[in-house]
Structure 1
Amino acid sequence: MTGREASGTEPVWVGVDLGTQSVRALAVTASGDVAGAGSRRLTGRRDGPRHEQDPEQWWDAVAAACREALRGVPAGAVQAVAVDGTSGTILLTDRDGRPLTPALMYDDTRAASYVDRINEAGGAVWRRLGYQRMQPAWALPKLLWLLAEGVPGGLPAGARLAHQADFVNRRLTGHPVAADLSNALKTGADLLAEAWPRDVLDALGVPAGLLPPLERSGTPLGTVCAAAADATGLPAGTPVVAGATDGCAAQLGTGRLTNGSWNSVLGTTLVLKGVTDDLVHDPFGVVYSHRAPDGRWLPGGASSTGAGALARDFAGRDLADLDRRAAAREPAAALAYPLVSEGERFPFLAPGARGFRLGGTGDEADDYAAVLQGVAFVERLCFDHLDLLGAPTGGDLTLTGGAARSAYWCRLRADVLGRPILLPRQAEPALGAAVLAASPGRDVAEVAARMVAVRTVVDPRPDRAGRFDDAYLRLVGELERRGWLPAETAAHARARTPR
């Protein structure tokens, strides 16, 4: 028991989520009650394949969100803080932690021309780690671009790479910090050795002193310094704990960390992440695995389908009304593959993939129903692909993200998947970061189970069993016919569909 816990004040742990559009801070008790919350908007710059943000804006937003979350929380209650960030977002800093470059965001693909060279140099490592090859938006290609073009005149002495969470953690502690293994995966960290693959990085020309040390998520990195305390309202001396990517934090925030448990985050796009005892190897290169704080694995992938298709195609419409009307169209007359942007990443890799809608009646409700069902079909195909790889998929399945607010869409997804789904009471990456803040010296699965409560369980409706199978297999066939979906995944999806 810490001194603060012994004082009689109910302890809280602070989780900070650095998202794309905002920073979110939560002060959470051991039982998962939210004692305070705060948020601040973020802005960025997009230009074709480029997507940048100003790292100083992150710090200003973190400071304001933390002050808001801690309003009314006694200073003696705060036990620790942890920060999660978007996966693959990096920048270069000077020896004092000041930005030398803008932040290149998680989906910035300007460095695509470096990928072949990286995969040639590090292919053996990437194959051993199960994901086979790096992708254009990953951090290591962006690092090579920054080294070549990001700092005119070359790097000053003491320059350092920083992931998004590293940048904020340095401001919190006032000194250089280690990077967590979760954020370091896309920068090339060898998660089996828990070290940088120095021979690969030497071959690529990455200076040895540029990279931070590595620690697992949940490892203490230092304490909040006086300057950060003044800015954020976090008491000076508060432990700062290594966080994770936002996807891994979202998994922790579901409270389900047993082998075979999965979380499906449906927001603008669809992201699946699960928990496995063993590393998952994907010869198709679409599933990659993070290292969990307890040494197990968090495999997953991100699709380019998602609710962003609704925001694009049904802007300004009453979605609750469309939900009600879509319920009468099961299955829809139209068949949709609702990509939010060009190219697919999971459950297959197809940079040339394009969304489509086939058939239909021209009725708005039917077109809307086809989008909801199409996303659910892709979600089902993700699980079929994971099963093909031998990944355990039979544990609890939680649904999170903005789309989980639609009771109808959740019920539809349970029907299409043919399995119960759990909806947590409070599930978001900031809660997962708070779980990490509370985890040093404790079993992270037990901490998560106490902090996260289930709001409701949605069972598949017996009268919907098999209703969507024909439409699902039709989509599988279309994706295979267009040359995007590998024949092995398509065949496995058919074999798993009762006929």
Structure 2
Amino acid sequence: MLNNSLVLGIDLGTSGVRIAIINVKKKILFTSSTKYSKGLEISGDWINSLKTLIQQIPRDLKEKLVSCSVAGTSGTLLACNRDGVPLGKALPYFLPFSEYSYEIRNLFTKECAGSSVSGSVGRALKLLALYGNEIILRHQADWISGWLINNWEYGEEGNNIRMGWEISNSSWPENFQNLKWLKCLPKIIPSGQIMGNVCTKKADELSLPKNLKVIAGTTDSNAGVLATFPNKNDGITILGSTIVIKKFVNNPLEGKGISNHKLLGNWLSGGASNTGASILLDFFNLEYIAELSKQINPNKSSGLNLLPLSSQGERFPIDDPNLQPKLDPRPVSDSLYLHALFEGLAKIEARGWQKLNELGADLPRQIITIGGGAKNITWKKIREREIGIPIKICNTPPAAGVASIALQGLL
């Protein structure tokens, strides 16, 4: 690879898309983001957002791109025909289908990310009921990578853990072998493997180099981990629309709602709540949150005990599709209510770290935090009080983390 070569990272999240371009020294040269205009379940929105961002890249940077890699929300699933054309809306990662709990239970012999009703199998069964089994099922990052190369054959291993893929032995669970819809699932490849070149049509449409290689990426939360450059004693919390916690471990952890990924040659375990910073925007805009935060004393308790879920159901640290939110009582003071929401979210994160510890992970010595919520210092101090572990803020966007996979895949 030439020293002046550049790589592109594409990070599709819950609320929008961000891209980042880095050089061989992992320095960020360009980054930009946009919100979905319609929502996570509209695949056309993923494409339109990506097109908008790629068109913003300065020409002198674009012509030096040699590879790109895609991260997407883990568990957001799309049904397509064999040519990759979507048959309807995607089912977002936070939609559980508890009506399929019996079928899911019979497919798995041990607890894992796929065995939960919050995993992707329930969403797959729902899409199969809607469209039959002459379809393909692809997670968000895999579908976008396929769109770039005009080939939807492949799926990256980390993005398919919630479907049941077992990284430890590189296979689907034994009971999957008899499934009529096994053919609907992708051919799994590891993160960092070359998937192909961007197709000529997309290269022309987006003014991208015709020899641009597309490298199998990862999940959006793993992209966040890569952006923090953690060591083994660090924990990582991604405070985006949802709260995701991750830690490197010696051996995979087993439990409902737990995902185990192989990243940088090491096991990375963790879990993701259904709630996070997005719940705050249900009540206040960003400017008002910043103003109210200045009125909060983070060293004192709000005296309220909220469970700030946006809707019924949770996947981690509690795996319960029927768990109800607790958003009342709402005090007259907006700053007191925001204080209580911050505390409720911090308690969910604290229980997550306790859960990982119970399953065999060491508690982190420090927690590196990334994502939009990481910028709020008041929330940071409340989290430190509730969790009891020092917290460090990282401002590098996860798109730069997935770009580093594009870089590594060519070395």
The normalised TM-score by structure 2 is: 0.90
Is it true that 1:433 corresponds to 2:408 in the alignment? no
Q: Tell me which residue corresponds to 2:128.
A: 147
Q: CA deviation at 1:378?
A: 2.3
Is it true that 1:133 corresponds to 2:107 in the alignment? no
Q: Tell me which residue corresponds to 1:245.
A: 219
What is the count of residue pairs matched by the alignment? 411
Partner SS state of residue 438, structure 1: helix
Query: Given that residues 251 and 432 in structure 1 are in contact (C-alpha distance below 8 angstroms), is that contact kept between their aligned partners in structure 2?
Result: yes
Q: Tell me which residue corresponds to 1:372.
A: 342
Q: Distance in 1 between matches of 2:89 and 2:309?
A: 29
Q: CA deviation at 1:399?
A: 0.9
Q: CA deviation at 1:177?
A: 4.0
1:156-195 to structure 2, matched below 5 A, reads 159-195=135-171
Query: Given that residues 28 and 34 in structure 1 are in contact (C-alpha distance below 8 angstroms), is that contact kept between their aligned partners in structure 2?
Result: yes
Q: Distance in 2 between matches of 1:288 and 1:390?
A: 14
Give CA deviations for 1:446-488 in whole Å, capped at 9, x if unaligned. Answer: xxxxxxxxxxxxxxxxxxxxxxxxxxxxxxxxxxxxxxxxxxx
1:290-301 to structure 2, matched below 5 A, reads 290-294=261-265, 296-301=266-271
Segments of structure 2 that go 5 or more residues without pairing to the other structure are none
Q: Tell me which residue corresponds to 1:461.
A: none
1:442-457 to structure 2, matched below 5 A, reads none
Q: Distance in 2 between matches of 1:212 and 1:131?
A: 18
Give CA deviations for 1:83-136 in whole Å, capped at 9, x if unaligned. Answer: 011111222333332223432222233x4322321221x221x43xx458222x
Segments of structure 1 that go 5 or more residues without pairing to the other structure are 46-50, 443-499
Query: Given that residues 28 and 400 in structure 2 are in contact (C-alpha distance below 8 angstroms), is that contact kept between their aligned partners in structure 1?
Result: no
Q: CA deviation at 1:214?
A: 1.0
Residues 363/107 of structure 1: CA separation in 2 closer, same or farther (3 Å cut): closer
Q: CA deviation at 1:164?
A: 1.6
Give CA deviations for 1:146-165 in whole Å, capped at 9, x if unaligned. Answer: 223225xx62xxx4332222
Q: Tell me which residue corresponds to 2:176.
A: 201
Query: Given that residues 15 and 82 in structure 1 are in contact (C-alpha distance below 8 angstroms), is that contact kept between their aligned partners in structure 2?
Result: yes
Query: Given that residues 64 and 232 in structure 1 are in contact (C-alpha distance below 8 angstroms), is that contact kept between their aligned partners in structure 2?
Result: no
Q: CA deviation at 1:43?
A: 4.0
Query: Given that residues 27 and 70 in structure 1 are in contact (C-alpha distance below 8 angstroms), is that contact kept between their aligned partners in structure 2?
Result: no
Is it true that 1:280 corresponds to 2:253 in the alignment? yes
Q: Distance in 2 between matches of 1:185 and 1:328?
A: 37
1:30-179 to structure 2, matched below 5 A, reads 30-44=24-38, 52-53=41-42, 55-73=43-61, 75=63, 77-109=64-96, 111-120=97-106, 122-124=107-109, 126-127=110-111, 130-131=112-113, 133-135=115-117, 137-151=118-132, 155=134, 159-179=135-155
Give CA deviations for 1:392-416 in whole Å, capped at 9, x if unaligned. Answer: 2325421112211212222332333
Which aligned runs of 4 or more in structure 1 are off by greater than 6 angstroms?
A: 357-361
Give CA deviations for 1:157-186 in whole Å, capped at 9, x if unaligned. Answer: xx4332222222222223344211011112
Which amino acid letter does the alignment assign opposite residue 364 of structure 2? G
Give CA deviations for 1:44-88 in whole Å, capped at 9, x if unaligned. Answer: 46xxxxx732x344233323322213444151x213100011111
Give CA deviations for 1:366-414 in whole Å, capped at 9, x if unaligned. Answer: 3332222232222222212221111123254211122112122223323
Q: Tell me which residue corresponds to 1:321.
A: 291
Residues 40/403 of structure 1: CA separation in 2 closer, same or farther (3 Å cut): closer
2:241 to 268, 271, 274: 268
Residues 200/407 of structure 1: CA separation in 2 closer, same or farther (3 Å cut): same
Residues 164/259 of structure 1: CA separation in 2 closer, same or farther (3 Å cut): same
Residues 132/96 of structure 1: CA separation in 2 closer, same or farther (3 Å cut): closer
Query: Given that residues 239 and 374 in structure 2 are in contact (C-alpha distance below 8 angstroms), is that contact kept between their aligned partners in structure 1?
Result: yes
Residues 355/327 of structure 1: CA separation in 2 closer, same or farther (3 Å cut): same
The root-mean-square deviation of aligned C-alpha atoms, in Å, is: 2.7
Residues 358/63 of structure 1: CA separation in 2 closer, same or farther (3 Å cut): closer
Q: Distance in 2 between matches of 1:392 and 1:441?
A: 34
Q: Distance in 1 between matches of 2:54 and 2:298?
A: 45
Identity %: 27
Q: Tell me which residue corresponds to 2:273.
A: 303
Which amino acid letter does the alignment assign opposite residue 281 of structure 1? E
Q: CA deviation at 1:361?
A: 7.4
Q: Distance in 1 between matches of 2:140 and 2:359?
A: 31
Which amino acid letter does the alignment assign opposite residue 292 of structure 2? L
Is it true that 1:22 corresponds to 2:8 in the alignment? no
Q: Distance in 2 between matches of 1:411 and 1:140?
A: 38
1:259 to 232, 242, 257: 232
Q: Distance in 2 between matches of 1:311 and 1:178?
A: 36
Query: Given that residues 299 and 382 in structure 2 are in contact (C-alpha distance below 8 angstroms), is that contact kept between their aligned partners in structure 1?
Result: no
2:385 to 415, 423, 439: 415
Q: Distance in 1 between matches of 2:267 and 2:121?
A: 21
Residues 341/360 of structure 1: CA separation in 2 closer, same or farther (3 Å cut): closer
Q: Distance in 2 between matches of 1:242 and 1:375?
A: 33
Q: CA deviation at 1:236?
A: 1.0
Query: Given that residues 298 and 378 in structure 2 are in contact (C-alpha distance below 8 angstroms), is that contact kept between their aligned partners in structure 1?
Result: no
Q: CA deviation at 1:417?
A: 2.6
